[in-house]
């Protein structure tokens, strides 16, 4: 399973991952089709790392250029019986708040 390339999810968001280094590190860009911000969506940088196994677990962070937030994704790349590569992920979004008392809503 090779993470390098263009990926699109069920909601229309997409990302492009550059070459994965021999250590498993990679960079790329992410464009989300889903947002709560009123700001215009912009391409945002991502940086990540993967295990070097055949169907690798991986993780990456997106630093949103149009919002005061960061999202971390973790998942695994699978190859189905037809040879199609599929990414399954979970994510956690953290938004900036002005005061620690508002941490609960971040």
What local confidence, expressed as pLDDT, does residue 36 receive?
A: 72
- Residue 12, C-beta contacts closer than 8 angstroms, at least 6 positions apart: 33, 34
Asked whether residue 30 is assigned to any structural domain, the reply reads yes
Asked whether residue 104 is assigned to any structural domain, the reply reads no
User: What is the rounded CA–CA span in Å between residue 1 and residue 65?
Assistant: 29
Do residues 17 and 28 lie in contact, with contact meaning Cβ atoms separated by under 8 Å?
yes
Q: Residue 83 maps to which CATH number? A: 2.40.128.30
CA 70-91-53 angle, to 5 degrees, is 110
What local confidence, expressed as pLDDT, does residue 48 receive?
A: 98
Residue range 39-59: mean pLDDT, rounded = 94
| pLDDT tens track for 17-28 | 999 999 999 999
Do residues 88 and 78 lie in contact, with contact meaning Cβ atoms separated by under 8 Å?
yes
Do residues 55 and 78 lie in contact, with contact meaning Cβ atoms separated by under 8 Å?
yes
Percent of the chain scoring above 90 in pLDDT:
84
Percent of the chain scoring above 70 in pLDDT:
99
- Residue 5, C-beta contacts closer than 8 angstroms, at least 6 positions apart: 16, 17
What local confidence, expressed as pLDDT, does residue 39 receive?
A: 79
pLDDT exceeds cutoff 90 at 4: yes
Whole domain around residue 77: which residue ranges? Answer: 5-34+41-99
Asked whether residue 106 is assigned to any structural domain, the reply reads no
Do residues 31 and 24 lie in contact, with contact meaning Cβ atoms separated by under 8 Å?
no
What local confidence, expressed as pLDDT, does residue 105 receive?
A: 82
Asked whether residue 63 is assigned to any structural domain, the reply reads yes
Q: How many domains in the chain?
A: 1
Asked whether residue 105 is assigned to any structural domain, the reply reads no
Element (H, E) at 7: strand 5-8
Asked whether residue 11 is assigned to any structural domain, the reply reads yes
């Amino acid at each position: 399973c090779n993470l390098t390339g263009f990926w699109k999810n069920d909601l229309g968001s997409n990302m492009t991952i550059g070459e994965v280094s021999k250590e498993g590190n990679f960079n790329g860009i992410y464009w989300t089709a889903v947002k709560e911000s009123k700001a215009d969506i912009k391409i945002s940088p991502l940086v990540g790392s993967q295990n070097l196994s055949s169907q690798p677990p991986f993780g990456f962070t997106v630093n949103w250029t149009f919002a005061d937030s960061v999202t971390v994704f973790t998942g695994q790349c699978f190859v189905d019986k037809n040879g199609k590569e599929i990414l399954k992920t979970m994510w956690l979004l953290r938004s900036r708040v002005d005061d620690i008392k508002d941490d609960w809503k971040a």
